[in-house]
Structure 1
Amino acid sequence: MRVSTGRHYWLAFALVAASPAVGQFNQQQGTAPARGPDAPKPTPTPQATTAPTPADNAPIVPEAEFDAALPPLSGDINAPLEPMPKGQPAAATPTTAQLPLVAADGSLPAAAPENPELAQPLQPLASFDSAPLQTAADIKDVDAPQIRYETVLKGLEELKLADEFKSLSALQEGKGKAANATQVAARGREDEGLAVRLMKSLGYYDGTAVSLIETVPAADATQPGSLRATVTATPGRLYTLSSVNIEAQPVTPPDLLTRNLPLKVGDPIEAARIQGAEANVSLVLPQQGYPFVKVGERDILLDDQSPKATGAYTLPVDTGPRSSFGQLTTSGDPVFDLTHLNVFPRFDGGDLYDSRKTDDLRDALVATGLFSSVAVEPQRTGRTNADGLEAVDLLVRQTKGPPRSLAGSAGYATGQGFKAEGSWTHRNLFPPEGALIGTVVAGTQEQGASGTFRRSNAGKRDKTFTAIASANHSNYDAFDAFTGTLSARWSYVSTPIWQKRFTYYYGGELVGTNESTYDFTQGAKVRRTYGIVALPGQVEWDTSDSLLNPTRGYRLRLNLSPEGAVSGAVRPYVRAMIEGTFYYPVSTSLVIAGRAKAGTIQGIARDDLAPSRRYYGGGGGSVRGYGYQRLGPFDPNGDPVGGRSLNEFALEARYRFGNFGIVPFIDAGNSYESSLPKGSDLKFGAGIGGRFYTNFGPMRIDVATPLNPRPGDGKVALYISIGQAF
């Protein structure tokens, strides 16, 4: 930027002349005294030796004569004007000289003849050329003349600022093209300031930068007349912290501020480091009982006179009172009353305030899907507890959202065919959080409908009561079944915002089913009706880092279901299944995942079991490469009949690059007629999968082939679904 240092002064002169001088001027109009170095020297006049006479001070016009010439004035401002004198000519002007203003009879003079041009009609607006004047800036499609230039950067590579400079550079943004050399020079000056700012961000406050625009020699130029813009940066000395001072009230513990402001004497005065340290104070103190902390404006006093360049750092911090949780209050359009709101907090009144628990409360409310907006804000109360902490109430601002939603999913798997599922949900038909869900399943081999009542956060956060009534038709190689089910279940499960280590469910089922089964005594397929009562339960221990896409940790799951079947006779039995998975990160992009599973049914013969309650192997969630439910014993027709035991193993290498991934895998397993699984006669499948990672989980496409196929097994199996295989 250029600043002009020139100044202009204006001088005003007032010339006052006595009356004789005025008279002399009037007598010699049109002459002026000679000026300049060649002008004749004025002849000195003798000074008056006598005092001025009274006549010299006499007025030009006597006062009495002046007053008599004035017209009489009226003191009434509303009085009418005096009539104009008749027959008096107006003052002489170049255009009206000697013309009477008013005729002798008092009439006005005749109007001047009308100009004929004024009587012509106006030109239509449409005939005007309304196109604006085109300037060089308005030319979009015309190829404007351009010059080429190259950019050279010096001095920032050592500071590792070259990449950041290039991403922000005006010269780089121009992509080596400009209208003229002046534009290139302007971009160079802009980049000078950029280089200085970048150096200051690392603590080089004496840094300077200059830009040079020069013509590239013809021998080096790729195009005649091209320019080279060189930006040279000189960092100068690095400034470091000579002291770190925090101006704040006493806190508990005493080192809370200094421990969470990770700055020390000798650290470079680096902008990102200092801003990050201050942000850490703003983040950590609300987690340690100070919800109203305010970090003030830092002050860094630089010392550039000492042999070592330093800066004294001072940070004012208003911590506010140390506080504990009080009670919940609410405002706005209420979705939940205070009774149900108090189900969500993971803290008790009197606990030390922690902003993470406040955020968790808000996330849990958002997860209900019943709010269009919800906020949780700490409010000062002025109440002091016995421990000296101020009680802070949490104000929940509620705004209702739409309670109804539609959802759908679709997939395909070899052996299962296409399957589509749609649902309608009213999440708060029976407040609070009493949902009604209607579901329809349509597929090539499965059709059905169900109605579900679900009470979420039933007396305890994340505890859910579910009741289901369903009717379903399944037509697979293993069985063809028409099934009706009534079930109820209590569950305590993980959610996307709060993944729990320990989860469980328990409940009861009443099942009525009519199924086709192969009767080995008759040597033919028959249909039988079964009545089943079951008390299923599950416990799980989960240390993984994600529900849908785990990359580390492990999971252990145990299912146990005492059951009784009625089909001509009452037969009690127990179904049990244990499963473990692990996830080991080899690197940030590669995860090794493994799974082992074993199941058993005790207390009943296989042929007395309803086919839908037996164990089957094969398919996308089992041993890939084999058809759905096609691992295990077969009847004489070549259809699977299932078994009373099962074992499965899987190993995957999940390699991810960006939002995509490749997963080679190998699976093994089988189902057995015996009540305990065997280690022999395992069937192996291998393949490769593709993953597309989204914000709600990975999309999975797996292609597999059986490694030791049996007669009738396909060569390739395809599986498409959402989520990892395990």
Structure 2
Amino acid sequence: MLLLASGALLPASALAQIGSTPKPGQGAPADDPKPQPPAAAAPEKPIVSDEEFEKSLPPLSDDVNAPLEQIAPADPATAPGGSVAVEPIEDAADLDSAGKEAEIAAPLPPIAEFDTTPVAETAQVNDEAAVEIRYVTRVTGLDELGLTDQFENLSALEDGDGRAANAAIIGARAREDEKLAVRLMRSLGYYDATAVATVEQTPDKQVGAGERRVTATIAATPGPLYRLGTIKLDAGPTVPPTLIADNFALKVGEAIDAVRVQAAEARISLVLPQTGYPFAEVGQRDILLDEETHTGDYVLPITTGARSSFGGIRTEGDAVFDTRHIGILTRFGRDDLYDSRKVDDLRDALIATSLFSTVSVEPVKTGQAGPDGTEYVDLLVRQTKGPPRTLAAEAGYSTGQGFRAEVSWTHRNLFPPEGALILTGVAGTQEQGASATFRRSNAGKRDRTLQIFASALRSDVEAFTSLTGTLGARISYDSTPIWQKPLTYSFGIELVGTREDRYDFARGARERGNYFIGALPLFAGWDKSDDLLNPTRGFRVKANLSPETSVRGAVRPYARAMAEGTAYYPVSDSIVIAGRARFGTIQGIGRDLLAPSRRYYAGGGGSVRGFGYQELGPRSPDGKPVGGRSFNEFAIEARYRFGNFGIVPFIDAGQVYESKIPQMTDMRFGVGVGGRMYTNFGPLRLDIATPIARKPGESKVALYISIGQAF
């Protein structure tokens, strides 16, 4: 019987870190002494008689400390068999050796007379080129078990790339791989596994001067597979009683696979804190192997601890938030059954504020009785303040809009808790402006944001020029890079004052005028895609509705609405087909009574690529776009990714109409190809497109550079 403790089961990724040697008789070659030749027959009489041997010895002194006397050379004539018994001292080197023996026996000189000057030695230089041995590695017995790839990833022989300085290094690598093969097989339950490493030279396969080809072979023999004979989970009572057994994945009769065993134990460690046991601990397993039946009796000790419910919140350290605001971030209430997933969610919410250098959340025992036989646990939040200010910048370019750069400065906690001040400046070919925003995150409720903003912007686009001031407020529930929410929404109010030029068709000339607009913008979105910045599957649906009133001599109420749908379908691991459809309409007012900045336009990097910004749609007699009351847009892309780069061919289509309902006629198409470089903050996008059936005055080629996918 063999006792296998918890350290004996190892995941394949960690097997190369612990040694293991096959037991004798399990594959390790046993010593096989060569057969000895039969002893020679004893001579009839000794070669040298005892009497002759005694006579040849020199006389010995009675002084045990005296140096040994020299042995006189034997007379060749009297040596047995006519051979010389002792060589005489014939050269200076032999004489010097004899003199040194006498010198050793002499008294040592005083220490002061020693010469302490270091002896300079000349290093030997080997001018010959270092000999390199090339070898090939051959493995047998692991492919049938599916272990070949793991072996090659961890192999010392494979890591050497088939080259070594000498044969000793190849042998050492082979011995390491021999142990590795055994550990890999044992990780699957083959505990009688053996492996033998051999290194053979094949001189007939010469590679080049100074190089020799050798073959290192690892022959693995798995032996019988050990299976679980019995399973015992040594744990206290739980609610429900079968909680541990229902979540333990191993069954009697299964192979003792290290990965499956560790995964089953990890699941228990995960499930118990999620179901009311915050202090549960999984102990070290014991597996008793039976070499006759090839089974193992499995025992796992588990300490469940008290079943618990959420109590209060404590905090310590350099506090950023008080316990009241931390309570707003929680998704649980007092008396709820403890769930570690909700604790992790609270920690993520704290991290998402970007106001901490370090923050942790952990349960603390209180000893107080809770509901349903539980005990209360408090959550201890340890806080350390981080830098609250951020300076950010972004830039983009397109042939229709030119350059655009934006710089922002943010103090995320100027008005605690989470009251931020954001100052933004915009400079570009077609627009320049500045804005100031007050933002309260988690405003009285988790994930709810309040914004109050003011901005001034000058625009000089092809359709119009404007100088616009905006004052507004908005409450929103948005997705973030940490939490991509299925449902998002916003509602608010805007007061806009703008001075813009427009073409007066009645007069046949352009004129400038002032517009005062009040709007109640509403938004709702449903997102079932798999990623916020780079979706590869799923869909999104968005809807905007903005009841507005334009005041220019008279009050004219109207409504602007837009709907958009996008879908993403993965054809393979590297190709995603993405599509988009978008429609817009303005009801309740004529086009020419609208401020030019409130009309719909199409064309550009975020619309129909291949055309310049606002290039599609009806035009005035002076050749400038006048916008419309409705539009439609369509796009389809094939996103091919290889590593951190990608190629995206695409086709876009769209048009703007004077009517209040899109007509789906006179559609214009653009075709192009884009490049992507994928980063940890989203893809960098470069698209080049051209219009199909280009008309005079339209762009020949359009270039767009930005961050994120087109949709």
TM-score range (shorter-chain normalised) is: 0.7 to 0.9
Q: Tell me the CA shift for residue 595 of structure 1.
A: 1.7
> Which of the residues 260, 281, 300 maps onto 2:287?
300
Aligned to 1:408: 393
Aligned to 1:69: none
> Which of the residues 288, 309, 317 maps onto 2:275?
288
Amino acid at match of 2:185: M
Q: Tell me the CA shift for residue 552 of structure 1.
A: 2.5
Amino acid at match of 1:601: I
Secondary structure at the aligned position of 2:265 is classed as helix
Aligned to 1:163: 149
Amino acid at match of 1:661: G
Q: Tell me the CA shift for residue 337 of structure 1.
A: 0.8
Secondary structure at the aligned position of 2:169 is classed as helix
> Which of the residues 358, 375, 380 maps onto 1:390?
375
Q: 1:130 to 1:515 in 2, by over 3 A?
A: farther
Q: Deviations over 1:342-394 (max 9, x none)?
A: 11001111112111111111111111111001101111111121311111211
CA–CA separation in structure 2 for the residues paired with 1:538 and 1:142 = 79
Q: Deviations over 1:105-139 (max 9, x none)?
A: xxxxxxxxx99979x9x98xxxx7899x9699xx9
Note the residue ranges of structure 1 that are not aligned, 5 or more in a row: 6-28, 33-93, 96-113
CA–CA separation in structure 1 for the residues paired with 2:206 and 2:266 = 50
CA–CA separation in structure 1 for the residues paired with 2:218 and 2:141 = 9
Q: Deviations over 1:268-305 (max 9, x none)?
A: 11111111111111122211221111111011111112
Within a 5 Å distance, the mapping from 1:60-75 to structure 2 comes to: none
Aligned to 2:3: none
Aligned to 2:615: 630
CA–CA separation in structure 1 for the residues paired with 2:586 and 2:134 = 80
Aligned to 1:59: none
Within a 5 Å distance, the mapping from 1:172-251 to structure 2 comes to: 172-218=158-204, 225-251=212-238
CA–CA separation in structure 1 for the residues paired with 2:124 and 2:524 = 77
User: Is 1:668 the counterpart of 2:634 in the alignment?
Assistant: no
CA–CA separation in structure 1 for the residues paired with 2:124 and 2:408 = 61
CA–CA separation in structure 2 for the residues paired with 1:693 and 1:285 = 39
User: Is 1:147 the counterpart of 2:133 in the alignment?
Assistant: yes
CA–CA separation in structure 2 for the residues paired with 1:146 and 1:499 = 57
Is the CA contact 2:526–2:540 (under 8 Å) kept in the aligned structure 1? yes
Q: Tell me the CA shift for residue 475 of structure 1.
A: 0.8
Note the residue ranges of structure 2 that are not aligned, 5 or more in a row: 1-20, 25-30, 32-60, 65-105
Secondary structure at the aligned position of 2:584 is classed as strand
Q: Over the residues paired in the alignment, what is the CA RMSD in angstroms?
A: 2.8
User: Is 1:364 the counterpart of 2:349 in the alignment?
Assistant: yes
Amino acid at match of 1:594: G
Q: Tell me the CA shift for residue 222 of structure 1.
A: 6.6
CA–CA separation in structure 2 for the residues paired with 1:661 and 1:256 = 47
User: Is 1:597 the counterpart of 2:558 in the alignment?
Assistant: no
> Which of the residues 666, 669, 682 maps onto 2:667?
682
Secondary structure at the aligned position of 1:438 is classed as strand
Aligned to 1:351: 336
> Which of the residues 641, 644, 648 maps onto 2:629?
644
Amino acid at match of 1:296: G
Aligned to 1:258: 245
Is the CA contact 2:543–2:561 (under 8 Å) kept in the aligned structure 1? yes
Q: 1:219 to 1:493 in 2, by over 3 A?
A: closer
Within a 5 Å distance, the mapping from 1:19-30 to structure 2 comes to: 30=62
Secondary structure at the aligned position of 1:352 is classed as coil
Q: Deviations over 1:121-168 (max 9, x none)?
A: x98xxxx7899x9699xx9x9843333332222221212222222222
Instruction: For CA contacts below 8 A with separation 6 or more, give which structure has more relative contact order.
Output: 2
Amino acid at match of 2:417: P
Amino acid at match of 2:142: L
Aligned to 2:413: 428
Aligned to 1:717: 702
CA–CA separation in structure 2 for the residues paired with 1:557 and 1:291 = 41
Q: Deviations over 1:680-705 (max 9, x none)?
A: 11111222222222222222222222
Within a 5 Å distance, the mapping from 1:448-463 to structure 2 comes to: 448-463=433-448
Within a 5 Å distance, the mapping from 1:559-598 to structure 2 comes to: 559-598=544-583
Q: Tell me the CA shift for residue 541 of structure 1.
A: 2.0
Aligned to 2:536: 551
Aligned to 1:110: none
% identical equivalent positions: 63
> Which of the residues 501, 508, 517 maps onto 2:486?
501
Q: Deviations over 1:609-664 (max 9, x none)?
A: 11111000111111111111111110112110101111112222223333222222
Aligned to 1:530: 515
Q: Deviations over 1:71-125 (max 9, x none)?
A: xxxxxxxxxxxxxxxxxxxxxxx99xxxxxxxxxxxxxxxxxx99979x9x98xx
Amino acid at match of 1:348: G
Amino acid at match of 2:563: I
Is the CA contact 2:453–2:472 (under 8 Å) kept in the aligned structure 1? yes
Secondary structure at the aligned position of 2:217 is classed as strand
CA–CA separation in structure 1 for the residues paired with 2:569 and 2:487 = 21
Secondary structure at the aligned position of 1:339 is classed as helix
CA–CA separation in structure 2 for the residues paired with 1:382 and 1:511 = 59
